[in-house]
Amino acid sequence: MAIVKDPVCGMEIESETAAGSSEYQGVTYYFCAEGCKHDFDTSPWKYVGSGAGLKEAMSEPSGQMAPKPASAKKWWEFWK
């Protein structure tokens, strides 16, 4: 039994009681609900790697990342 983080909604859950799991790039991810698993399966790159890093950076009101609307638009477009 282990506490894992649902990469879609950020909720901490127990892997044993997770509603679902998916493997992506050799890593197994666990989800609190079917909906989260579905979202992850649809576009896993949004929730791992640079996508997760960006999400973390955005949730922190840090002065390190100056607002750059131009580059922000770029990565949104990249995801489409």
Q: Is 4 in the site for Zn ion (CB under 5 A)?
A: no
Q: Is 47 in the site for Zn ion (CB under 5 A)?
A: no
CB 11 within 8 A of CB 32: yes
Selected from 4, 6, 30, 40, the binder of Zn ion by CB under 5 A is 6
Q: Is 36 in the site for Zn ion (CB under 5 A)?
A: yes
Selected from 18, 29, 32, 47, the binder of Zn ion by CB under 5 A is 32
Q: Is 52 in the site for Zn ion (CB under 5 A)?
A: no
> Of 50, 55, 54, 57, nearest to 25 (Cα)?
50
> Which residues would be at the binding site for Zn ion (CB under 5 A)?
6, 8-9, 11, 32, 36
